[in-house]
């Protein structure tokens, strides 16, 4: 019954009956919960019951190995200090800017244009090493003089030809 006033003994009987029914339902729910717990325990112990008593292995005795950790290196600070040092030494001077702007700082012969010096400085053209002719001691290019060249070795040696 709900929270109505009890006016007679018959109402008390109904209240008593409702309380007994609630107790039975609570006992049945507790029994179901206990049976479920027991079923779960049986499932957990299934391996141990089918194999026999199981004892976990003891961990092997091992000596603790102490590996020395490397000392921390402040790498970012070292990079920052190197950058500061490079910036303090550098005056942000570019030699190529002088080649482009100041003709008095670089020598070139008459007939040689400024673009030749500029291309040589930038490495567009490679200067080949020269070798010396052992027969006449004349300096010649490593590839030899062309046949039409007037500066060929005067001795006419085979090395220069």
Q: What is the DSSP string of 93-156?
A: --HHHHHHH-GGGS---TT--HHHHHHHHHTSSPPPPEEE-TTT--EEETT---TT-TTS-TT-
User: Rounded mean pLDDT of 65-78?
Assistant: 92
Q: What is the pTM of this model?
A: 0.28
- CB-based burial, 60-94: b 16+ in 10 Å, e otherwise: eeeeeeeeeeeeeeeeeeeeeeeeeeeeeeeeeee
User: Rounded mean pLDDT of 9-24?
Assistant: 89
Confidence of residue 33 (pLDDT cuts 50, 70, 90): very high
For residue 130, the cross-strand partners are 141
Q: Residue 86: helix, strand or coil by DSSP? A: helix
Query: Rounded to whole angstroms, how far apart are CA atoms 148 and 48?
Result: 104
| Residue with the larger pLDDT of the pair 153 and 70 | 70
The whole-number pLDDT of residue 110 equals: 83
């Amino acid at each position: 019954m709900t929270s109505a006033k009890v006016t007679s003994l018959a109402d008390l009987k109904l209240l008593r009956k409702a309380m007994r029914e609630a107790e039975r339902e609570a006992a049945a729910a507790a029994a179901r919960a206990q049976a479920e717990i027991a079923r779960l325990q049986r499932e957990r112990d299934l391996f141990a019951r089918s194999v026999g008593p199981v004892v976990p292995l003891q961990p092997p005795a091992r000596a603790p190995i102490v590996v020395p950790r490397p000392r921390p290196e402040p790498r970012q600070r070292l990079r920052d200090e190197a950058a500061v040092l490079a910036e303090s030494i550098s005056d942000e001077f570019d030699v190529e800017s002088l080649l482009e702007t100041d003709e008095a700082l670089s020598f070139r012969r008459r007939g040689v244009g400024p673009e030749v010096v500029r291309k040589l400085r930038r490495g567009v053209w490679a200067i080949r090493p020269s070798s010396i002719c052992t027969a006449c001691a004349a300096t010649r290019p490593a590839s030899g003089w062309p046949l039409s060249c007037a500066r060929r070795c005067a001795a006419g040696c085979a090395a220069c030809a």
